[in-house]
């Protein structure tokens, strides 16, 4: 009952913040849903244990106490620890709130939803759950007669005894597992965000300046026909150049084709997103037109933020266009051909700043003066006859169309025709413009870019088979070693790389601070530095499973993965809290019964505390594990991000559970044996 109540309560503050129900906000509930029932599992299990012990006469201290008192005492035993563990899971997500920019806007709904859900779950754990337990738990408890529970105890007890007998070996092997995981961690790639599968692809080849409109249209149609032949493609829409909007400064050399894909169930067997792009890239190879493949929405966001229309861009600043272009082209050739970056560079293109072709009319002032003309008179004819002039508007129902007047195309589509353009004189004569001006072809910048008061050119890089951050490291080595950067020219690496560095800097500060807060909470709850440190051991051991599953799934380290690891830290700490609670209760009971006298007694107490509570340990872990599996198997829009969050949590829960069930008792026996100095 507490689960749906906590979820419904979480929507109240979300509504007050005017947050919508979307993939990320609902994903926060999906990530937290397993841990939200942990309090009820632990409390109900302990109530069953205490009631069963009272009914069978195993606990002398329970004789003469009514049922309600036993239930209340059972909840008091585990209540504080489970409440603090839920608070720890909630606070572990604090670093996510510090993310800024794109990553902050993306993950803040998930962080808010998860925090609210876990916060209300913690509150209900000490209010609603105890009240329902008193009201609803009736009849005789026969938990100790449950066949599955007996089987789990019989299977787990020999494992714990083995771990205690060879505890040095167990601890040594666990440390070895951590060490072996380090190379796996170092081999993982780094990227800002996984690809956001939007159900469509944006294909952006770029040509050298100077392509005619007719030729550009032919190339575009050919590309669209080739793309439509792929079975996975639903439809193709291509655009070359820019529209009439002044906010779209796309040159004629820039092609933008939106490829809408069919649902993934209709794809060929074994076909993946990366394989499809690789096939398209191999088939659409046009000389002088490097390809860039990305997602439509993601591309627009990136272009608005940085001006870069690829996942990685290099900005070349300077004061001279020719020098800037030479530097950019040299970087393009270096990264394209160097053996360190060539395997990971799917395509690279440096903008040509001086490759545009223009037709100049050099008006001769002396010649026009003989006919009584001014420069404005000649230029007005050129603008009207060649460029066209709006003379009126036509109204067609609700539609309005401009009426543009200019020469027919046959009179203005070549230099010879343009030389015959007639200019009227004040006397009424019509003079060919060839007698008034010299017409010549010149080259110049097709477009000027300005950023922070400096001229700039972009080098667009489409990275493949390697994380963006790792590629930038290789590319910077190549550029620093081989590129000859002239004086007055500087480079700036732009794109998602900058976002990753910003987020990483934030997390590097806040993650240790969060661990310190968790440690303080553990110390407040347990009153022992040793116990708090032992519980925190679950966090690095949980990361071993996280790293291995990332390795097997071939996921790069990204902000989404780090968010998953932050959530995993809270879950791992909770598992450690529960095992410490059960071991402590068992040792305390042995001490109360005056049975804790020898090292063998300590081992028996640990075995009993661990094995008798194997059921709640497995139930809490499996609840979180099963709650994450649907995310790991999901497909569709947003699934790629959520999978990166869930994957480290799934792998980490497995390794943390192994550590808590096997390594934890061995470490605890060393610490408890040292603490109880009287134990031989």
Alpha carbon distances (Å) from 44 to 54, 76, 79, 133, 394: 15, 12, 11, 7, 79
Nearest to 668 by CA among 584, 612, 597: 584
Q: How far apart are CA 141 and CA 145, in angstroms?
A: 9
| The predicted structure's pLDDT at residue 176 | 93
Nearest to 136 by CA among 48, 61, 73: 48
For 27-54, the DSSP string reads: HHHHHHTTGGGHHHHHHHHHHHHHHHHH
Give the angle subtended at the CA of 27 by the CAs of 24 and 32, to the nearest 5°: 135
| The predicted structure's pLDDT at residue 179 | 92
Q: How far apart are CA 497 and CA 470, in angstroms?
A: 9
The number of CA neighbours under 13 Å toward the Cβ of 477 is: 9
Q: How far apart are CA 563 and CA 507, in angstroms?
A: 10
Sorted by sequence, the CB contacts under 8 Å of residue 603 that are 6+ apart come out as 161, 164, 669
* 3-class DSSP state of 486: coil
Phi, psi of 395 (to 5 degrees): -110, 120
Q: What domains can you pick out in the chain, each with its CATH number?
A: 1-145 (1.20.1640.10), 147-187+528-680 (1.20.1640.10), 200-355+448-493 (3.30.70.1430), 356-444 (3.30.2090.10)
Determine whether 320 is exposed, middle or buried from the number of CB atoms within 10 Å of its CB (0-12, 13-18, 19+).
middle
Phi, psi of 239 (to 5 degrees): -140, 135
pLDDT tens digits along 497-526: 777 788 888 888 888 888 888 888 888 877
| The predicted structure's pLDDT at residue 680 | 43
Q: How far apart are CA 401 and CA 458, in angstroms?
A: 38
Phi, psi of 109 (to 5 degrees): -60, -40
| The predicted structure's pLDDT at residue 579 | 86
What the block records as the tokens of 418 is: 């343009």
Q: What value does the mean pLDDT of the chain take? A: 82
What does the longest C-alpha to C-alpha distance in the chain come to?
126
Q: How far apart are CA 174 and CA 570, in angstroms?
A: 20
Sorted by sequence, the CB contacts under 8 Å of residue 22 that are 6+ apart come out as 109
Alpha carbon distances (Å) from 181 to 10, 313, 542: 37, 33, 11
Q: Are 143 and 149 in contact (CB under 8 A)?
A: yes
Q: How far apart are CA 631 and CA 111, in angstroms?
A: 16
Sheet containing strand 200-203, edge to edge, reads: 233-240, 255-261, 200-203, 293-294
**3-state DSSP of 353-371:** CCCEEEEEEEECHHHHHHC
Q: How far apart are CA 306 and CA 303, in angstroms?
A: 5
Q: How far apart are CA 505 and CA 508, in angstroms?
A: 5
Sorted by sequence, the CB contacts under 8 Å of residue 149 that are 6+ apart come out as 143, 615
First to last CA, the chain: 48
Give the angle subtended at the CA of 126 by the CAs of 121 and 132, to the nearest 5°: 90
Q: Are 189 and 555 in contact (CB under 8 A)?
A: no
| The predicted structure's pLDDT at residue 679 | 45
The pairing of beta strand 255-261 with beta strand 233-240: antiparallel
| The predicted structure's pLDDT at residue 562 | 86
Residues of the chain with confidence (pLDDT) below 50: 59-62, 678-680
Q: Where are the beta strands (DSSP E) in 85-172?
A: none
The number of CA neighbours under 13 Å toward the Cβ of 443 is: 9
Q: How far apart are CA 139 and CA 488, in angstroms?
A: 85
Q: How far apart are CA 46 and CA 153, in angstroms?
A: 16
Nearest to 336 by CA among 326, 321, 346: 346
What the block records as the tokens of 483 is: 């590129």
């Amino acid at each position: 009952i507490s689960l749906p109540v906590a979820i419904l309560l979480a929507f109240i503050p979300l509504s007050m913040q005017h947050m919508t129900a979307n993939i990320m906000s609902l994903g926060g509930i999906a990530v937290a849903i397993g841990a939200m029932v942990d309090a009820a599992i632990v409390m109900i299990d302990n109530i069953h244990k205490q009631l069963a012990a009272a009914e069978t006469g195993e606990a002398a201290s329970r004789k003469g106490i009514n049922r309600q008192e036993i239930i209340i005492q059972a909840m008091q035993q585990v209540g504080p620890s489970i409440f603090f563990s839920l608070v720890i899971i909630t606070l572990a997500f604090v670093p996510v709130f510090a993310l800024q920019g794109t990553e902050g806007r993306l993950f803040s709904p998930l962080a808010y939803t998860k925090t609210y859900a876990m916060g209300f779950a913690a509150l209900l754990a000490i209010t609603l759950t105890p009240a329902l337990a008193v009201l609803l738990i009736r009849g005789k408890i026969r938990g100790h007669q449950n066949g599955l529970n007996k089987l789990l105890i019989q299977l787990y007890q020999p494992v714990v005894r083995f771990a205690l007998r060879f505890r040095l070996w167990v601890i040594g092997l666990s440390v070895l597992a951590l060490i072996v995981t380090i190379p796996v961690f170092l081999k993982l790639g780094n990227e800002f965000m996984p690809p956001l599968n939007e159900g469509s692809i944006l294909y952006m080849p770029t040509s050298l300046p100077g392509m005619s409109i007719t030729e550009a249209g032919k190339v575009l149609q050919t590309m669209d026909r080739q793309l439509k032949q792929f079975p996975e493609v639903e439809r193709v829409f291509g655009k070359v150049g820019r529209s009439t909007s002044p906010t779209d400064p796309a040159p004629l050399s820039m092609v933008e084709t939106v490829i809408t894909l069919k649902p993934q169930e209709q794809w060929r067997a074994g076909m993946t997103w990366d394989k499809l792009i690789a096939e398209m890239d191999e088939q659409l190879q046009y000389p002088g037109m490097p390809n860039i493949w990305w997602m439509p929405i993601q591309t627009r966001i990136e272009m608005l933020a940085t001006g870069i229309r690829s996942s990685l861009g290099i900005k070349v600043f300077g004061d001279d266009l020719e020098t800037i272009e030479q530097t950019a082209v040299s970087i393009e050739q270096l990264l394209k051909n160097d053996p360190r970056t060539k395997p990971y560079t799917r395509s690279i293109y440096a903008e040509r700043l001086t490759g545009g072709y223009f037709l100049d009319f050099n008006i001769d002032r002396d010649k026009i003066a003989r006919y009584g003309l001014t420069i404005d008179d000649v230029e007005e004819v050129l603008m009207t006859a060649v460029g066209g002039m709006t003379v009126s508007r036509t109204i067609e129902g609700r539609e309005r169309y401009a009426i543009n007047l200019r020469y027919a195309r046959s009179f203005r589509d070549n230099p010879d025709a343009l030389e015959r353009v007639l200019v009227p004189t004040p006397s009424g004569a019509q003079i060919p413009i060839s007698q008034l001006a010299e017409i010549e072809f010149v080259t110049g910048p097709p477009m000027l870019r300005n950023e922070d008061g400096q001229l700039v050119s972009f080098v667009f890089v489409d990275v493949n088979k390697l994380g963006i951050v790792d590629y930038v490291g290789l590319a910077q080595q190549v550029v620093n070693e081989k590129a000859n950067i002239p004086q007055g020219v500087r480079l700036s690496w732009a794109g998602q790389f900058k976002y990753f560095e910003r987020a990483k800097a934030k997390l590097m500060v806040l993650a240790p601070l969060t661990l310190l807060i968790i440690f303080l909470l553990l110390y407040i709850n347990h009153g022992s530095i040793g116990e708090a440190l032992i519980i925190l051991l679950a966090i690095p051991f949980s990361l071993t499973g996280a790293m291995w599953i990332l390795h097997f799934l071939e996921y790069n380290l990204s902000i989404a993965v780090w968010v998953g690891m932050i959530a995993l830290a809270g879950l791992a700490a909770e598992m450690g809290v529960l095992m410490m609670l059960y071991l402590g209760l068992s040792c305390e009971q042995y001490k109360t019964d005056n049975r804790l006298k020898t090292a063998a007694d300590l081992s028996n107490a640990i075995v009993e505390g661990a094995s008798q509570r194997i059921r709640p340990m497995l139930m809490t872990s499996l609840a979180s594990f099963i709650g994450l599996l649907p995310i790991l198997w999901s497909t569709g829009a947003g699934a790629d991000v959520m999978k990166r969050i869930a994957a480290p949590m799934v792998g980490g829960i497995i390794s943390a559970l192994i550590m808590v069930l096997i390594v934890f008792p061995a470490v605890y026996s060393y610490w408890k044996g040292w603490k109880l100095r009287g134990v031989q």
